[in-house]
Structure 1
Amino acid sequence: MKTTTALLLCAALFLSACSKKEKPVETASAKERSCATMEVLSAKLKEDPTLAGRMAAIEANTARVLQDKSLNRLLSDGSILIPVVVNVLYKTSAQNVSDAQIQSQIDVLNADYNGTNSEYSTVPTLFSGVKAAVGVHFVLKSVTRKSTTKTSWSTNDAMKKSSQGGIDPTTPDSVLNIWVVGAMTGGVIGYAQFPGGSSATDGVVIAYDCFGNTGTATSPFDLGRTATHEVGHYLNLRHIWGDATCGTDYVDDTPAHNAANYGCPTYPHYSTCSGTPVEQTMNFMDYTDDACMYMFTAGQKSRMLATFVSGGGRYGFAH
């Protein structure tokens, strides 16, 4: 099990610890989840020498909040409301996702973050004591649509900049911006920006065929869990395997994973890490298919809620 003391270690060694490369991105034809969040973070750390310090301060603040339970209790009543602006960039009519598809994604986020998804009651007994409803709610604020001639997008954040053919974010300090785009290079289906990054590029990017649970959403990413996963990053969660062999996600109650899991692993799936724990393959922060991920833990909940405390990077949503 991971310990919160690792948070302070990350603050001290942030640049080296958080730049490790994960498993190479798979192609879209492989039908495996490919989140580019850590690759994007690595690039941002190189571009902006002040980013590591800001994120280290957020990690130190997270450790303080987790140690001071009175601070975390202030946010445990489910009162956090996150307005969402969906920015749709489309070349084809299929990429111009419908209002119904957009609302389906908002509904999925609300279910997954509040433990009302249908699979929540099926969490294996081994993990039922740590599963958690986060108590964060999402409401659609507006939809912005823009036609484009681009056939694919890279992870350089062009979709977030009107000067590069994209759409500028709307008040990112108090609104979650989600960009829905056509194909992304390298088979990437989504990525997010961690707290502490530039407001000019803050938010989440999702491929149009992995967005929501209706319309153009395509199996095995047709249940809206790509956005659930990426919003987890947006709220400061790491991949459950820590982007390293038996790495840390800075959460106490998630078992050590030796690597990402893909598809739908048969339970129980044992880790090769010390103690050979059963891996939590149904956690939203693994790489399994949409149908096979359906829980956050209490530790992940606390880490996410810590972002809404002053100094946590998402304080604007709480005030």
Structure 2
Amino acid sequence: MKKILLSAVALLMLFSCQNDTTETTPENSALAQRGCASQEVLEAQLKADPTLALRMNEIEAFTQKAMLTGRLVNGKIEIPVVVNVLYKTAAENISDAQIQSQIDILNDDFNATNSDFNSTPALFSGVAANVGITFVLETVNRKSTTKTSWGTRDAMKKTKQGGLNPTSPTTTLNMWACTIGGGILGYAQFPGGSTATDGVVIDSKYFGLSGSGAYPYNLGRTATHEVGHWMNLRHIWGDATCGSDLVSDTPTHNTANYGVPAYPHYSTCTGTPVEMTMNYMDYTDDRGMYMFSNGQKSRMAAIFVSGGARAGFGI
């Protein structure tokens, strides 16, 4: 397990100098490896808006202080959700039942009621977390479009570009279901970004219990992973070789893991720890990820307290 020691200089560098690790996969291998574009989108936003790094540094400093002082939310957090469906084909116009299945999956995964939570290895059972955040579907907005794919430049979030503007983004989690393209399953905006583009995008093929056609990403864990980003979680390997995800109770990973690695899977980083490949913030198949850690729970909770980046959702 690793300890996080962040100096003021490290905080200033954290978001202004991002690793160049690419996360896209070729279209013809979209079903072979998970593709999340959250880090790439963040890097583009940092280049476009120099003030974003300062805001994220402030959020990180606040988060670390809140975690150290125990200043976390006291009680349940309930997240209202608006789902924006953008479709060209009937298959992209996913059903209300499929949308509700995704809300149910989020509730299971964030409250440790998922059936595979009990598969957590004994080594990690002491840090496996019930995050205690619930999600409530408020509205489904639907819009027919002529686009075959939307990419990762937030066009789907802008009515003027053919998409749908977010609804009340300071108090509502907006999710967009559409065809992204480029082998990307989904992406999220980290806390600190513009409210005009805040939320989570999931390719409609991987939204909820979407059936065997989307295997091995048919269990709704793409949204769990991306909502984790939306709540300020980094990839578990820190988007760098033996990088830091800023969480103290997750092992140091070499890099992303794919498929369903056999346990135990050892890192070659310092100390050769067993990697937490079943963590939602890795890149494993849906059936291979089924837990958050207590450290990740504290990190997520910190953004909802008074003064936090998402205090509008807090108690």
8 Å Cα contact 1:86-1:143 kept in structure 2? yes
Structure 1 unaligned regions, length at least 5: none
**Correspondences of 1:1-319 after superposition (within 5 Å):** 1-6=1-6, 8-17=8-17, 19-30=18-29, 31=31, 32-69=33-70, 71-72=71-72, 74-75=73-74, 77=75, 79-182=76-179, 184-214=180-210, 218-319=214-315
Change in 2 beyond 3 A, CA 1:28/1:291:
farther
Secondary structure of the equivalent of 1:296? coil
| SS in structure 2 of the partner of residue 311 of structure 1 | coil
Measured against aligned partners, the alpha-carbon deviations of 1:196-245 in whole angstroms (never above 9, x if no partner) come to 00000000000011110145861111000000000000000000000000
Contact 1:195 1:312 in 2 (8 A): no
After superposition, the C-alpha distances for 1:73-131 in whole angstroms (9 at most, x for unaligned) are: x43x3x10000000000000000000000000000000000000001111000000000
Instruction: Kindly provide the amino acid, as one letter, of the partner of residue 42 in structure 1.
Output: E
Count of matched residue positions in the alignment of Structure 1 and Structure 2: 313
Q: Secondary structure at the match of 2:108?
A: helix
CA apart distance, 1:186: 1.9
Quick one: distance in 2 between partners of 1:162 and 1:46?
24
In 1, the alpha carbon distance for the partners of 2:243 and 2:162 equals: 38
CA gap 1:86/1:287 in 2 versus in 1, 3 angstroms: same
CA contact (8 A) 1:2 1:249 kept: no
Q: Tell me the amino acid that sits aligned with residue 125 of structure 1.
A: A
Q: Which amino acid aligns with 1:4?
A: I
- What is the alpha-carbon distance in structure 1 between the residues aligned to residue 212 and residue 93 of structure 2? 9
Separation in structure 2 between the aligned mates of residue 199 and residue 94 of structure 1, nearest angstrom: 29
Q: Which runs of 5+ in 2 are unaligned?
A: none
CA contact (8 A) 1:10 1:59 kept: no
Q: 1:91 to 1:112 in 2, by over 3 A?
A: same
Could you give the per-residue CA deviations for residues 144-196 of structure 1, whole angstroms, max 9, x where no partner exists?
000000011111000000000000000000000000002x2321110000000
Q: Secondary structure at the match of 2:136?
A: strand
Contact 2:156 2:164 in 1 (8 A): yes
Q: For 1:287, give the aligned amino acid.
A: Y
State the TM-score, normalized to the length of structure 1: 0.95
Letter in 2 for 1:219: Y
Give distance in 2, aligned partners of 1:7 and 1:151.
Answer: 46
**CA distance in structure 2 between the aligned counterparts of 1:141 and 1:261, rounded to whole angstroms:** 35
* 2:282 aligned partner, one-letter code: D
Equivalent position SS for 1:180: strand
- In the alignment, is the contact (CA less than 8 A) between 1:36 and 1:190 conserved in 2? yes
Give the 3-state SS of the residue equivalent to 2:135 in structure 1.
strand
| Cα deviation 1:228-263 (Å, max 9, x = unaligned) | 000000000000000000000000000000100001
Instruction: Kindly report the root-mean-square deviation, in angstroms, between the aligned alpha carbons of the 2 structures.
Output: 1.4
How far the C-alpha of 1:310 sits from its partner, in A, is: 2.4
Whole-angstrom CA distance in 1 between matches of 2:260 and 2:79:
30
Code of the residue aligned with 1:105 in structure 2: it is: Q
Seen in structure 2, the aligned counterparts of structure 1 residues 7 and 148 have a Cα distance that, compared at 3 Å, is: farther
How far, CA to CA, are the matches of 2:155 and 2:251 in structure 1? 36
